[in-house]
Amino acid sequence: MSKPPNPTGHPTLQMVADLAKVSRETVSHILGGKRTDRYRESTRRRVEQIARDLNYRPHRGAQMMKSGRSNLIAIVHFGAGIEAARKTNQTLARLLQKTGYDYLAVDMNWHDGNVDRTIAELIRSRVEGILISHIQATFEDEHIDDLLRAGIPVVLVNGERRCNAPLVSNNATDAVETMTDQLFASGNRLILQLMEGFSGLPTSQRPLSWSQRVTGFQRACRRHGTWTLLQEEEFFSSWPRWVAERGSGHWGLTVEQDAKLYAAVDKPVYHLCSRLFSQGPLPDAIVCRNDFYAMEAIAAGLEHGIAIPQDLAITGYDNDRIGTFPAFGITTAEQDIEKICAEAMRLLLQRLKDPQAPMAKEVLFPSHVILRTSSAAEAARNTRPTDNPRQKSTGKQKPV
């Protein structure tokens, strides 16, 4: 392609217009996603292809001076080490591009949790709106208020509630309840749920993701028998008694672990399971917070010669790709990330269009339970000797 002379060395809007044989206004409209329906498809394709060939990028400063807008939405995200978080962030970016907005991705892990600095940078960048994905405790109500005072609307995605911003998220309660019901129906009688702990914090003030999972587990356990909440050390001191007294009843124990281990992703479930498996006896099943931690439980089981699900049933959450392999086959729940992100985008665009429009404070989407072999415990329970709860069974079984 022959490029017109350009003393600056950088591709310009005029260069694209000259090569496409259209006006600068036409190029601006097409590349900016404005009033594109007035142009033929062939014209749009030609302009877009020439812009790609030239590696043309709009001058954001000039755009802002001319229009008073940045056309920029920020995606502030956390938890990039969790697959569900990565899927959410990627989906938000893809949907944003379809709206004609550009996006600025801000990884709070790289910012070392410095929320004040992040807010200052977002305001200085003149972003028009912000999507906060998988919010953590570092981003509090006062930070949301700082952004709102700067005239920047905020929507929370798959995270925690904050007073002055709408939340769009999955609802884990029903999914965890369904998976726990299935475990009881498959012959499991003593089930552990492993969760991060929040010592001294009332249950009503704990994170939404925690309360949903615990509530779902609690409902199922109380419908079948008994539910109890224990701290980790309290659990280990009373565990032999629980096993001895279980009789023919059904028991559910939510065990709270060190929250700092969870925050640091420091193998909390692996450590607890290794300690439990080395002491024995085994529970019938373990309900993990997500597939990432379910893999930690499976890893600890492999090291201690425990077969899944013959000796121990395990469930996770989020439907990570590794859990789909037949070698693991993790029973899990899948969030409808596409719908969650689309709704978050709709709410943000609505707020940008009409800042005073009434808006729902919370929109929750149900998750879809996926039953796999990690929870297929009924046949194994029937073949395992009752006088040795750590003895492995050799019977074959079918998935539930």
Residue 395 domain-assigned (yes or no) = no
Confidence tier at 79 by pLDDT (50, 70, 90): low
Q: At what angle do helices 24-32 and 41-54 cross, to 10 degrees?
A: 90
94, 190: one domain: no
181, 321: one domain: yes
358, 379: one domain: no
203, 291: one domain: yes
112, 220: one domain: no
Say yes or no to pLDDT of 363 above 50: yes
270 in Cβ contact with 298 (< 8 Å): no
Q: Report helix, strand or coil for 366.
A: strand
49, 88: one domain: no
**pLDDT at residue 97, as a whole number:** 84
Residue 6 domain-assigned (yes or no) = no
What's the rounded mean pLDDT across residues 244-271?
83
CATH code at 36?
Answer: 1.10.260
Residue with the larger pLDDT of the pair 341 and 107: 341
CATH code at 252?
Answer: 3.40.50.2300
Ranking 107-121, 230-244, 257-271, 280-294 by mean pLDDT, the lowest is: 107-121
The CB density around residue 233, as the number of other CB atoms within 10 Å, is: 9
Greatest CA separation for the chain: 87
Residue 268 domain-assigned (yes or no) = yes
181, 313: one domain: yes
- What does each C-alpha distance from 208 to 204, 205, 238, 288 come to in angstroms? 9, 9, 28, 16
DSSP state letters, 133-187: ES--TTS-HHHHHHHHHTT--EEEESS--BTTB-EEEEEHHHHHHHHHHHHHHTT
Whole-angstrom Cα distance, residue 179 to residue 331?
8
Which tens digits make up the pLDDT trace of 35-77? 667 788 888 888 888 888 888 766 554 554 444 456 889 998 8
Residue 399 domain-assigned (yes or no) = no
Ranking 27-31, 334-338, 388-392 by mean pLDDT, the lowest is: 388-392
Q: Report helix, strand or coil for 383.
A: helix
Q: State the residue range of the domain holding 34.
A: 13-58
User: Phi and psi dihedrals of 334, rounded to 5?
Assistant: -110, 125
Q: Going by DSSP bridges, is the β-strand pair 332-334/368-370 parallel, antiparallel, or unpaired? A: antiparallel
324, 195: one domain: yes
Say yes or no to pLDDT of 389 above 80: no
110, 184: one domain: no
Beta-carbon contacts of residue 383 (< 8 Å; ≥ 6 apart): 310, 393, 394, 395
88, 191: one domain: no
74, 35: one domain: no
Residue 281 domain-assigned (yes or no) = yes
Residue 5 domain-assigned (yes or no) = no
313, 351: one domain: no
Cis, peptide link before residue 166, omega less than 30° from 0: no
Confidence tier at 29 by pLDDT (50, 70, 90): confident
Residue 398 domain-assigned (yes or no) = no
Confidence tier at 377 by pLDDT (50, 70, 90): very low
Residue 192 domain-assigned (yes or no) = yes
Highest mean pLDDT among 4-13, 162-171, 199-208: 162-171
**Based on the structure, what is the number of domains in the chain?**
3
User: Looking at 41, 58, 75, which one is the last position of a domain?
Assistant: 58
